[in-house]
């Protein structure tokens, strides 16, 4: 009888430990999926931003004939950012850092374009330019919110992954650290101002 009780206690403990391990593993999977979704949301907004820029440059081209170098710099920065975006993965610190640098360069070149456009009153009052400005401003806000949500999800995941005793399960099943989307260029910390008034 005592042997049966010991066996039941051992089986009960194994079941409790098994359920606990399963809950911790599932929690890690859930957290990982949240930060991956957050990164996908950033990707959606950056794609929208990158898609708006050629239209913006084409609109400005008609008015800024003597500013070809600035317009080409914007397109080059956009292409570099698009390339970094398409190769980025939230599990790669280098890819996320490269994306941050590319987006910083794009923000800087857009800032120069908008500063230069102040010299062209016809461009500032062009309806197409005003509409693109509004869409870009909206997209910039969405990018900022997406970055914040992604970084919150990464912080939550990394905290769970590094906390005792979940860290044992994370290491056992190769749950690597997630990378925050940090702005690499000091100038990028300032929001791109896209107003023509």
11: CATH:
1.20.1440.20
- Going 45 to 46 to 47 to 48, the CA torsion angle's sign is positive
| Section 146-161 average pLDDT | 94
The better pLDDT of the pair 123, 185 is held by 123
Task: Name the domain count of the chain.
Answer: 1
The reply to whether 98 falls in a domain is yes
In-domain check, residue 137: yes
Query: Please, is 12 exposed, middle or buried when counting C-beta atoms within 10 Å of its C-beta (0-12, 13-18, 19+)?
Result: exposed
Q: Is residue 196 part of a domain?
A: no
Domain limits at 165?
A: 2-189
Kindly state whether residue 194 falls inside one of the protein's structural domains: no
Residue 157 in this model has a pLDDT that exceeds 90? yes
Tokens encoding 187: 């100038």
Percent of the chain with pLDDT over 90: 47
Taking a C-beta distance cutoff of 8 angstroms, is the pair 50, 81 a contact?
A: yes
96 vs 185, higher pLDDT: 96
**Any domain includes 197:** no
**What pLDDT is stored for residue 30 in this prediction?**
95
Q: For residue 195, tell me if it sits in a domain.
A: no
Give the pLDDT mean for 84-100.
88
| Residue 37 domain-assigned (yes or no) | yes
- Rounded Cα–Cα distance for residues 25 and 20 (Å): 9
Is residue 61 domain-resident? yes
Predicted local distance difference test score (pLDDT) of residue 89: 86
For residue 38, the model assigns a pLDDT of 94
């Amino acid at each position: 009888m005592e042997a049966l009780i010991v066996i039941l206690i051992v089986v009960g403990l194994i079941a409790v430990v098994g359920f606990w391990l399963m809950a911790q593993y599932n929690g890690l999977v859930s957290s990982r999926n949240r930060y991956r979704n957050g990164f996908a949301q950033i990707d959606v907004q950056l794609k929208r931003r990158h898609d708006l820029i050629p239209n913006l440059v084409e609109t400005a081209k008609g008015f800024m004939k003597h500013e070809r170098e600035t317009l080409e710099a914007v397109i080059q920065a956009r292409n570099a950012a698009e390339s970094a975006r398409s190769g980025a993965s939230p599990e790669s610190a280098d890819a996320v850092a490269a994306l941050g640098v590319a987006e910083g360069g794009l923000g800087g070149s857009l800032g120069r374009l908008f500063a230069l456009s102040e010299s062209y009153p016809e461009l500032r009052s062009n309806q197409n330019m005003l509409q693109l400005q509004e869409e870009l401003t909206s997209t910039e806000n969405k990018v900022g919110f997406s970055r914040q949500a992604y970084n919150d999800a990464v912080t939550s995941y990394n905290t769970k992954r590094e906390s005792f005793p979940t860290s044992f399960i994370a290491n056992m099943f190769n749950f690597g650290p997630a990378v925050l989307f940090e702005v690499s260029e000091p100038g990028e910390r300032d929001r791109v101002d896209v107003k023509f008034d």
